[in-house]
Every structure is written in C-alpha cells, then in structure tokens.
Amino acid sequence: MQSTLFSSLQLPNGSVLPNRLAKAAMEENMADDGQLPGPAIRRLYQTWAEGGAGLIITGNVMIDGAALTGPGGIVLEAGTPLEPFKQWAEAAKCKGAQVWMQINHPGRQVMAAMGGRAWAPSAVALDMGKHSKLFVQPKAMDSAEIEEVIERFAATAAAAEQAGFNGVEIHAAHGYLISQFLSPLSNQRKDDWGGSLANRARLLLAVVRAVRAKVSSGFCVAVKLNSADFQRGGFSEDDARQVILWLNELPVDLVELSGGSYESPAMQGNTADGRSLAREAYFLEFAKELAAVARMPLMTTGGIRRKAVAEQVLAGGVAVAGMATALALAPDLPAQWRAGGDQAAHSPQIDWKDQVIAALARMALVKRRLRRLGASGSVGGKHSPLLTLIIDQLRTRRLTRRYRRWSQART
C-alpha cells in the first residue's frame, strides 16, 4: 500500500514519525544573550508544532562557540546550560512531532566581521567574486583539530539527548565543514583525510560513529547530504551515491538530500555549473535515484510548496517531504493539507543582477518572517526586499558586536 503524506513512518531504530511532512532547517539567527535559545525561538517552534508537521528539524546549532555561521547562532557545547534547550525541545514536541537538532560546524563559511576561526580541510578561500572578502581566510586543520571536531559533534549530540530532543541531524551539506571535506574543490589534502572519496568521506563517517556511540539506541541520528554541489569538479551525484552506500553500513535513521553551497546556492534554485533545477522539489530526481540504493529512509528538501508536489515526492520512493521557506510563509500548511485543503506557499521572486545580494535578500525575508512568528505567531504581510535586507544588515552588525563581546569573555 502506497504511503500518504499522513502515514506514519517507522525509522530503523524503531522510533516513529507521525507523518511524512518535515519542517526542514532554516537558519533563524535568533539566539538570545549567551547564544542560547530563548522565548522567541520557543514561540516559533510551538507555532510549527501546532502547524502539524510530523518531524521538526531545528536551524543549525553550532558545536563550537568560536565558529558560527552567523552572529545570532545558537551554540551547544559540553558544559552549556541545558535548561533553555529543554524548554525549546518541550515547545517543539508539544503536539507529538519528533524534534531533531541539526548540529553543524561552518568550516570556512565564517564571516570575517565576526572574528571567529575558520577551520577547513585546506586553506582554500570561498570564491564569492567581489564579495569574497566578507569571509575569513580559512586555516587547514591538523589531525588534532579534526579529532576535536569529531568529539564536539558527539558531545553536542549527547547534550541534545539530555535536553529532550528526539534526535540530531549531522549537517554534511551546503558547503559547511563536513561538506568541505567531501568536495575535491575545497579538500586538497594529501593525507588520510583527502584525495580519494573514501578519504574525503572519512570525517562524515567518523562523526556518525562518534555520535551514535554517545547516544542511546532510541535517539535518532540523521545526516543532511548534498545530492551534488552543483560546481564543476565538486562533489557529484556519483559521489553522493557512494556515500549513501557507506552510510547504509552505519546505524543512520534518515538521510536528507539537498544541494549546493554559499558559492552555488542550489538550495535556492540557483547553480554555479549552469544546470537547471526543477522549479519545485529541486532535488527530487537525484533523490529518486538514491532511494534505489539507500537502506534508510530518504528525505528531500528544496522548493516544495504545494501538496501535489509533496505527494509526488512520496510517489518517487522518497519517505519524507521536507519544507523550509514554505513553513516560514504558512506554518500551518501540514494541518491545512490534512484537513483536505490544497493551499500553497509562494515566496516572492528577487531577480536582482547581483546574485549574492539577491540571495542575501531572500534569506533576510525568510528570517524576518521567522522573527515575526516568534514574536506574535503570525507571518504578517508583504515586505520590501531592499528594506528588509537593510534591516537585516543593521541587525547583523548589532548581533556581531554582541557575539564578539560574548566570545572575548570566554577566552
């Protein structure tokens, strides 16, 4: 019998998702003082819980306070107070969804203004054209730093379980640290962590093993993986297929497929290698092919805004349909679909000449919606992309000053 959007899904470790719709990760940039979750993010996640998704995945939580994707990022390390995280998990689980914490290290994708450290497999800087100087020049990691990162992922996962989350998702996509190790463009190492795909995938597999060793068997461990980087010479579809085969041999409960990086933002429908993506369910074709070899359930995220498209995802053999921007625009979309509606959520198009600035404006619009949901539970009306980008840049400067004070106080 074919699964429907509201069929339950039993995962390999025996735990169950109540339905096949997931709130995928978005970077909220909404940390309170101390880089901790606070009332606004709890209200935001309670709104999503009430919206009916069966799985709620948080925006990325940083495993190292010295390396953040943005100054409003939440940090969970060994020794971080857990009470704010317990309250966050409780709010997100209040209607029966599973809630997983996405855990991440940005690697070289660190803004220069933040003054953090940008560890990377190799000292290869981001190529963002005229905007490249916005990012820190990365440092090639030594073996001790690689082992430290592995331990940090495991420690954050263990703390997430203590705080009441149902699982973690290890972020190995979108050009962050583990994704950088997977790509031959950013990983030019000559040791056991570079060269062949087996060596480039070594960090991901080591992190999965270390996390699983620190958490209970009923705690879910998932991986977010690029179906491709969409850069010439980068991590390819064939590479993704082989990594899935290796992950098959480990106790992984779900793999989410996405794509792209800061240099090639395929997760927004744009690629650096000239390939065109479907206007909806960007990565579905790749996911269908990988579902044929994956032993664990697959989830795909990117561009899903309509019920018919989510149903198409399941019909293609993918177990879970993930939505991000759509649930920033209409947080109760799953509940509307369950009630028989076919409402859609369409984000405004920004077709500016400067693609980097256009991408920043799109992200700023989403984050503004998230802050509105966290403040009042409503998404509000239309916003000017230009004005929203200016507001976001001013807010980022303020948060950067706060982060730098917090970071300096820790040293």
Higher pLDDT, 345 or 207: 207
Higher pLDDT, 10 or 360: 10
What gap in Å lies between CA 46 and CA 99, rounded to an integer?
11
**Residue 2 pLDDT class (50, 70, 90 cuts):** low
Is the pLDDT confidence value at 274 over 50? no
CB under 8 A, 24+ apart: contacts of 344-353: 344/305, 344/306, 344/307, 345/305, 346/305, 347/305, 348/382, 348/385, 350/385
Provide the whole-model pTM: 0.93
Whether 64 is covered by a domain: the verdict is yes
Return mean pLDDT, the chain. Answer: 90
**Residue 345 pLDDT class (50, 70, 90 cuts):** confident
Is the pLDDT confidence value at 347 over 80? no
**Domain containing 232: what range?**
9-410
- Please give the C-alpha separations between residue 59 and each of 55, 99, 340, in angstroms, as whole numbers: 13, 11, 29
Q: Count CB-CB contacts under 10 A for residue 279.
A: 10
pLDDT digits (tens, 9 = 90+) for 67-87: 999 999 999 999 999 999 999
What pLDDT is attached to residue 266?
Answer: 43
* 99, burial (CB in 10 Å: exposed 0-12, middle 13-18, buried 19+): buried
Whether 4 is covered by a domain: the verdict is no
What pLDDT is attached to residue 282?
Answer: 65
Are 89 and 41 within 8 A, CB to CB? Answer: no
Whether 332 is covered by a domain: the verdict is yes
Whether 3 is covered by a domain: the verdict is no
What gap in Å lies between CA 354 and CA 365, rounded to an integer?
17
CATH number at residue 205: 3.20.20.70
CA 335 to chain centre: 23
Domain count, the chain: 1
